[in-house]
Amino acid sequence: MSFLADMVNFEFLRYSIIASFLVAFLSGLISPVIVYKRMEFIGDGLAHAIFGGVAFAVLLEFNIFLGSVLATLVFAYLVYLISKKEIIAESTAIGMLLPVFMAIGVIVFSKSPRYTTDVTAYLFGNLLLISKSDVLLIAIILAIVTPVILLNKYEIAYWIADEKMAEFYGVKTKILKLIVLFSISMVVVSSLKLAGVIVMGAFLVLPGVFAKQFANSFGDAISKSVIFSIVFSMVGYISAYYFDTPPGPTIVLSLFAGFLLSLPFNKYRA
């Protein structure tokens, strides 16, 4: 009962659990796209890119959310531009840009008087950073990304299965790819204060990996991924409360435990 009592008494707990639920929904929604298209590296890349934007926002004292959005959008667009001609692979482009944005973030943060505190909070997440305005922003991102993914799920599925054939049959794959990259960027931004830079990749990958084991279609994978993400994120959040551990890493461990528990039931196992 102490958990429910604290939820009533402490505003930051209410905001953080709502944010955790919304982030779980968003990451579950986008995860199958990342896993099926083998874009796992992009999640880590965007998470590290965010660090540079946050650093500038902290140092210059402007909105951190805006700094995060700008950094991830710039990163996603640069990846799109560099890999557009297919001379440089997308994974190579991400590998080039990831340390650049991270290095920029570290250098800029070093000029902040709260260097150690700021870096720790944004690398590993901090529940105390989540406010009512953050919850509202995450809800807005969810309202934007959800219809984008669901209304284009057949085109996305076709793009995932065979990009060249999809383009041949009229799917605008380059625009679709840009939309997907921007959608992932928004999900990464929404997860920053809960997950932090270090463990964010797991939020984006584990639900999709779970869903891929049991899904009968791409739409089914999205549904199972969202359910898995929400259930085990809530388990992780409550576990973090009772064991007094950082919520982001605890949720990741919960998601991974859920994935391990699912392995004996994998319909593709030998």
Domains, the chain, ordered by start: 2-263 (1.10.3470.10)
Distance CA 215, CA 47 (A): 27
Specify the pLDDT at position 86. 63
DSSP string, 31-73: HHHHHHTT-HHHHHHHHHHHHHHHHHHHHHTS-HHHHHHHHHH
User: Contacts from 230-236 at CB under 8 Å and sequence distance 24+?
Assistant: 230/21, 230/24, 230/25, 230/28, 231/258, 232/257, 232/258, 233/20, 233/21, 233/23, 233/24, 234/17, 234/20, 234/21, 234/24
Closest listed residue to residue 25, CA positions, set 270, 227, 267:
227
CA 24 to chain centre: 9
Report pLDDT for 158. 92
Contact 213, 268 (CB under 8 A): yes
Cβ neighbours of residue 237 closer than 8 Å, sequence gap 6 or more: 16, 17, 20, 247, 250, 251
Residues 150 and 6: their CA atoms lie apart, in Å, by: 36
Do 153 and 222 meet the contact criterion of CB atoms below 8 Å apart?
A: yes
Predicted confidence at residue 227, as pLDDT, reads 97
| This prediction's pTM | 0.87
Q: How far apart are CA 56 and CA 111, in angstroms?
A: 10
Would you give the end-to-end CA distance of the chain in angstroms?
A: 44
Q: Which pLDDT does position 270 carry in this prediction? A: 41
Give the containing element (helix H, strand E) for 174: helix 173-214
Return d(Cα 268, Cα 270) in angstroms, integer. 6
**Confidence at residue 17, expressed as pLDDT on a 0 to 100 scale:** 92
Q: Block means of pLDDT (10 residues each) for the chain, length 270 residues?
A: 78 90 96 90 78 82 80 82 72 81 81 65 74 90 95 93 87 88 87 82 92 92 97 94 88 95 72
Distance of CA 237 to the CA centre of its chain: 17
